[in-house]
Structure 1
Amino acid sequence: MSRRWVAAWVVAAATVVTALLLTAVGDPVQLMTPRPDTGGSRPAPPPPLPTTAVTPSRAFPTGTGEPLGPLSPFVALIVQIVAVLAIVVVLGVIIAFIRSVWRRPQLVARAAADFVTPEVPDELLAASQEQLALLVEGEPRNAIVAAWLSLETAAAATGLPREPAETSTEYTTRVLHSWDIDPRSLADLATLYREARFSRHALTEEHRRRAMRDLTTLHEDLRRVATEATGAPTT
């Protein structure tokens, strides 16, 4: 329920309750307006009929303009019950309205997360020599593909979870970005792998040299991170 509707319900319920309370505790209401006194003499009443009139056991208002008497106890009780119920409904609506207006999301202050860079797995460091050896053998296309696949295998051996929608290349890139490495060298090496894997044009020795520079920079960065973490040189 929107705030506009809640406000409308509050006003309507308050109006009804006020009317009921005034009816229950107010002065008697005259149902007929008294006839004005014209100051003249009233006509004489007609003579009684010859038949004997039956006197009713209970008198009812005869429309002479006299006000009705007080409400009966049963009607007064019904009015009071209705008034109490209406007050309860109004209070409930008012409480709901106040809660809807003043409700605000509770923001809990939390301390900044303390993220610790994981140690470089031995699998990544141990496979560096194998990847460089694969990169210098055979045609540039096959050498680049073989070196990158070896890098993917080493990244998977770290045990870091892989997202369902990730390709093997995306997974390897994300794993290696867990450490402080040169992002440009890694991006260029991944680009060379895609070009060697999916393109049809010939790859040259220049592509091999680019891949060699990128892979060497990657290995040096991983060794540096491992050395900083352990405080001892890593071979």
Structure 2
Amino acid sequence: MVHDDRRLRSLPLPGALALVVLVTVLLMAIASLQGVPQFGNLLLDRRPPAPTPSSGGQTAGPSIGQRLPDLPLLAAIASVIAIVMAVVGLLLLGWLLWRVVRALWAARPLGRQEGGAVDVGQPAMASDDSVDAGAIRDAAVDAQQAIDEHRDPSDAIVAAWVELEQASARAGRARAESETPGEFTVRILRRRPGRDAEVETLLALYESVRFGGVPADERARAAARRCLAAIEEEWR
């Protein structure tokens, strides 16, 4: 028997949300760093007008507003830092997604099959209490009446066995998929092991008439009647 056993594990939602917010802020900071202008062509001061040469004919020193050299090293360092921060942020985001997916997979509803289940169509070995003894006994009585009512012994034997087959189907047991109705009837009647010989004799008489084409005589009718009486007595 299958029962639905839904087991849900609690997820660390507050911590996960905090980590998501942290990663989002980190990515926003990285994006803002990408918009910082380059440091290369930066002027610290405007170029003032050229000074008047002195009377001594000497050239003046470098002007105050002279362009400073570019700073490519500082720009490269800033770019490397931004790339490293972006990679770290992506790694954190991937780790977080992996943890969330793993937690959701662990929290999925699970089905649990308890022991004691029997496959459909498989004959289960049970005690005699699981078979309706009254139905088998009544069928044996009806089969004896059928033996006496039919004029032809062959028809009488077939009718008697059919009574047992129908009673076995109502006895509370399931027939296996590989079993014929005759085999199933024999299995039910053998729940009481004291009359195995009578069951085999009655089955042989039925099969010889029904499938072998051998006509039965009065001796076969009498043998079938004795077998049915023994089966009735055993199932009292």
Normalising by structure 2, report the TM-score.
0.43
Normalising by structure 1, report the TM-score.
0.44
Identify the structure with bigger relative contact order (alpha carbons < 8 Å, sequence gap 6+): 2
